[in-house]
Structure 1
Amino acid sequence: MNELENKTALVTGGSRGIGAAVALRLAQAGADVALTYVSDEAAANEVVEKIRAAGRRAVALRADNGDAAEAAGAVDRAVEEFGRLDVLVNNAASFPFTATDDVTPEQLDRVLAVNVQGPFLTTRAALRHMGEGASVITIGSNVIEHVPFPGLTLYATSKAALVGMTRGLARELGSRGVTITLLSPGPIDTDANPADGPNADGIRSLVPLGRFGRAEEIADTVAHLAGPGGRFVTGTEIHVDGGINA
């Protein structure tokens, strides 16, 4: 359970849902963890206190992933706090559910800023501090491969861009011993997508395992990729989706 001992991690959007589960799991594996949040400072501080209670250092940083300066600046603030950066988890995202005809220019700009520009700039900033054995794990979505409902076009477009980023950076980073992976969850039971929500039965019917996943199941895979077991995994997309893309 101490595979990340003496390592530090930054998890964007780490105050709730998958991000919070990832932050806690990396701490359980031995890492000190910085996490970002936009508005829910109380939730972010609650995650921080849980990590500190487990004996690891933690800090919550307010940073809007859709703001170029704040997204990159969170990296520098994390390094200032911990002195190094070994793991970056690009988790912060905007999830629009809107018919294409109804997407406004402002919404388009915002979603692409949060879901594409943010991970790109945060990763670029992180790589200035990363060396041999470091890892970048970006959270994608099952809609990259299979869009099950209308209204997801903008979201799918933004998440699909991360495939190119992951593959391109794998070629650039291989000689430095830095890995980059895209982890695409299926339906996960979170506040934003509850397993007892109004559309849950329809979603569940598409999943061969017949259930929503748990945020902890995504976090376990992130911890594996960040640790020694993930050192030969790079430039690829990994689905943790209950088989929804089968």
Structure 2
Amino acid sequence: MKITILTLFPEMFTGVFQQSILKQAQEKGLVNYNVVNFRDYTNDKHKRVDDYPYGGGGGMILTPQPLFDAVAAVKSESENDSSPRVILMCPQGERYHQKKAEELSKEDHLILICGHYEGYDERVRKHLATEEISIGDYVLTGGEIGAMVIADSVTRLLPGALGNEMSAVTDSYSTGLLEYPHYTRPAAFLDYKVPDILLSGHHERIDRWRRQQALKRTFERRPDLLEQVELTAEDKAFLEDLRNR
């Protein structure tokens, strides 16, 4: 997979892509990160990529020419595809979620555009980007942190990226529920003990306990998620019992 990031601050990504799972995935040949400074594509002799908005108003707007040319150059260099997903990082976009990460992880090439200043020229939205994504209902200085979030969440879903292939499958949100509690050695610490069921060796009962704990945690913290989960009769009975306590 190839992930290209268009940014005015490429140095921000240096440390991020050289650590942990992201670094390991590159070394395994699972993903290739390409960070491009779209200022290099401006036709302005002063290397400007922004200008004042028509009609007045505060702030500066990213001009379309550098972004259009940068995307065209990236596409022309791609050997495997001619139509990558071109994603604007933008607070007005679709809110990012795990299902979107899973969808994007199946693509061959993503181009993530990191905005700055007051925003983009609208022609970038309408005629260059294929979609817009927001990582939350707040505004950041630029789109770089959002692009890092997408790169990380997508990379860890690539087959072979994680040491344990079940890790991504059982993560919070991947199942539709928040993840169940985890415990490790020692079995007792400061008088706090690991639940007996996890020490029993009875895998069917452990699976049932984990499912119920995931339901309980989701019910307590994110009950809205339960509306989107396919529940068994046993799940529904367990949740009804929680509601009646």
TM-score band, normalised by shorter chain:
0.3 to 0.5
Larger Rg: 2
Q: What TM-score, normalized by structure 2, do the two folds share?
A: 0.33
